[in-house]
Structure 1
């Protein structure tokens, strides 16, 4: 993308680009509190199907509107669809990014598939069937990743590049807005859990902002390296499905909970736990080594 944009004077100033990103954030978040069916309340969980459907409608409209604004602003360049990562869609890049992300989550995958016995559920495709009737799963694995990546990567990152921001500034600045878009969960949590101490709610929001920002850095890197919104969406859905990895404690193989002698349980549990932490640190090392090789693409918006 840099090769395409440097031959033109920036159509946006850096202040204008940042202002648009902040506006996009507000457009995405405010309807969740203005639109009555989507609004949080002490009487209704955010996992209530009615609230989830209302929120999906709201953020879908917001994402489409903001994407149209970016498309128009980028129309002075050769191919807005290309600059926004929509076409070519990058199927090969998406597979590569899923493999890359899986190395980082090698230990959680090991715990989920082997230790918790999820392999048997996948043989019958039960996790996929959840998407048919479980609205929280649909929100977390489909609607959330699609709308957030289309807005905070596809519609936002090209504006920063068009305004002349460097690669590093784009990678570390854009996720700040992405993180800010999740701060409203503090208000929602306080609204739906009024009995929880405010300090605990603040700590929860700080943690959420931290890992949201870190993922945003990774997703922006992916988007720039692959030029594919689909790859960013796939990584987002995968990370949402895995959650935060265990960094302490021992694993509990499901077959040991079915009545094995106590002295054997302890020894075997230690063995499987050692395997988990070997994969945890080994996966991090493998991720670091494969980060650039597996994210390389001819569709890249930036070369670095």
Structure 2
């Protein structure tokens, strides 16, 4: 159950209204200046565009987080337990939750067992890690990697989880509504990419662009529900930030087609038995990892820091 709601100080419509307002505060500044707006002659991966956007969303997230931090003491029920109404506790800042972060990563790793197998074994990614943690160096050297693996996860989780969920909790929203309904706003916050894609890729057919946006809305909404679940169960902002970064790095899992081991020559790859063997391992991990994730969903997210018990 959620922490006790405030005595009429914050209603559920008001809490969801604040979530919608926070979303606008996050998205609208991306179109406030030529430096942040998409244009036909400049990719969204251009370093100057990424730097300007990171600055904009960082300021927006800071403002929304401060608003929640200052609002919580006034709307949280004074009769509730002190830890339940501590703003830093409700927002997942403190305690940090290192154990919760490790367990959440393990849980998510089970779900991505097959993609990890493909990335590390089939594609030979393990060599880059052994040769000096190249993927980590890329984060510092490449602006798109910094945006996708650091700035995006940090700002989005600080806003959509840390700043928004505590308000929904103290307003008395049900856990199912928080987990399943609020991610729709998170998904809608990504629909502006449709406009950007049309601006930067005008030659792409409209149907293809719409299908791309529908797919993005679907998986961002699903991830939002998962992140909400993790945040409520672990009470750790760090946990959802790290899981978000991990999911961004992995992308959507392959659900069809054969995997192609990097060590097979063209002649070897032409032998179906070899490809079938390694592809079979992938799909066995895809199914087995999903089952293991489901069976450990509650066990690996159990925590004394939980913001809700369910």
TM-score interval for Structure 1 and Structure 2 normalised by the shorter chain? over 0.9
Kindly state the Cα deviation for residue 164 of structure 1 after the two structures are TM-superposed.
Answer: 1.1
Pair 1:192 & 2:190 matched? no
Q: How does 1:129-148 map to 2 (within 5 A)?
A: 129-148=137-156
- Contact kept in structure 2, 1:11 and 1:162, CA below 8 Å: no
Match of 1:303 in 2: 309
Residue deviations 1:13-54 (CA, integer Å, cap 9, x gap): 111111111111110000101122111000000000100010
- The counterpart of 1:15, out of the listed 13, 16, 31, is 13
* CA distance in 2 between partners of 1:303 and 1:236 (Å): 23
How many Å separate the matches in 1 of 2:215 and 2:68?
31
CA contact (8 A) 1:10 1:162 kept: no
Q: Which residue of 2 aligns with 1:47?
A: 45
SS in 1 for 2:40: coil
Cα separation, 2, equivalents of 1:72 and 1:12: 14
1:151 corresponds to which residue? 159
* TM-score normalised to structure 2 length: 0.94
Q: How does 1:65-214 map to 2 (within 5 A)?
A: 65-76=63-74, 77=76, 78-124=85-131, 125-214=133-222
SS of the residue 2:176 aligns to: helix
Please list the CA deviations of residues 189-241 of structure 1 after superposition, one character each: whole Å capped at 9, or x if unmatched: 00111111111111100000000000000000000000011000011000000
Q: How far did residue 262 of structure 1 move?
A: 5.5
CA distance in structure 2 between the partners assigned to 1:221 and 1:135 by the alignment: 30
Aligned to 1:236: 244
Which of residues 287, 290, 293 in structure 2 aligns to 1:287? 293
How many residues of Structure 1 are paired with residues of Structure 2 in the alignment?
Answer: 300
Distance 2:62 2:207 in 1: 36
What 5-or-longer segments of structure 1 have no aligned partner?
A: none
- Larger helix fraction of residues: 1
- 1:103/1:287 contact within 8 Å kept: yes
| Gap change, CA 1:262 and 1:162, over 3 Å in 2 | closer
Please provide the CA RMSD for this pair: 1.2
Q: Displaced runs of 4+ in structure 1, greater than 2 A? A: 258-263
Q: TM-score, normalised by structure 1?
A: 0.96
